[in-house]
Structure 1
């Protein structure tokens, strides 16, 4: 199980690097075509926008996995170890419920609707269901990582929070 999670971590990190590099190339070409060639490319503008959606959602999953997401730890740090662990379990369960209902179920419904209606993007002419597919994907990944966190909590490990000094 641990090797599967490590593989998932590496795949997610590689996907994020690839998407970020793609955004960099798209935006660079957009600037070159607009100001040097005087003929702006509409395809790269839309592609960069769609890639930004994907990097935002997958980046949130990566931040959640590495515990580097924005969080308010003042209250949690002042709790006794027993209440701290109970609160962390509750947080993981809430993340699972939110991810399942909103991201996986709601995201699937959105993808299904856009595929059924054949909603096509203006410049790229791709189905918008492909763009929205990141919602259930990120929801599934969040659920997996929450289950890993719950497993760690029940096995006695403490979930470390990343502070600004360690980033």
Structure 2
């Protein structure tokens, strides 16, 4: 499971790097066309907005994978190690439930309702369902990561209880 999670993290990091490069180039083109060519590009604003949506969703999954997301650990730091691990399991289970219900099922529903009837973007004419597919994709990554984190915590918790006995 750890190897699979490392592969997922590697894939997500590469996609994030590509998205960052694409958004920088798109915004540079927008600035260049607006100020140098005196003819603002119509598509670059919409493309950069869509790239930002993907970047935000995938970036959140990457931060969760690397434990670099924002958290308040004031209460957790005051708990005994076994209770802290139990709190971590609770928090990861909440992340799993939210990701499954809201992002996977809700995002999948959003994709399906924008496919029929087809909803398209204003400038590019792209199906919005393609943009919204990042919700169930990132939701699945969140779910897999939460399961992996809970599995690791349960192993740590069993080691703690074994040491006590």
TM-score normalised over the length of structure 1? 0.92
Q: CA RMSD in A?
A: 0.9
Task: State the alpha-carbon separation in 1 of the partners of residues 99 and 91 from structure 2.
Answer: 12
SS, match of residue 155 in structure 1: helix
SS, match of residue 69 in structure 1: coil
1:53 and 2:39 aligned: no
**C-alpha displacement of 1:2:** 2.3
Structure 1 runs (4+) deviating above 4 angstroms are none
What does residue range 114-125 of structure 1 map to in structure 2 within 5 Å? 114-125=114-125
Task: State the alpha-carbon separation in 1 of the partners of residues 150 and 4 from structure 2.
Answer: 16
Task: State the alpha-carbon separation in 2 of the partners of residues 128 and 106 from structure 1.
Answer: 15
Q: Deviations over 1:128-155 (max 9, x none)?
A: 0011111100100000000110111011
Task: State the alpha-carbon separation in 1 of the partners of residues 8 and 102 from structure 2.
Answer: 22
Aligned residues: 157
SS, match of residue 124 in structure 1: coil
Q: Structure 1 unaligned runs (5+)?
A: 158-167
Q: Which of structures 1 and 2 has the larger relative contact order (alpha carbons within 8 angstroms, sep 6+)?
A: 2
Q: Give the structure with higher Rg (CA).
A: 2
TM-score normalised over the length of structure 2? 0.93
Q: Structure 2 unaligned runs (5+)?
A: 158-165
**C-alpha displacement of 1:17:** 0.4
**C-alpha displacement of 1:3:** 2.0
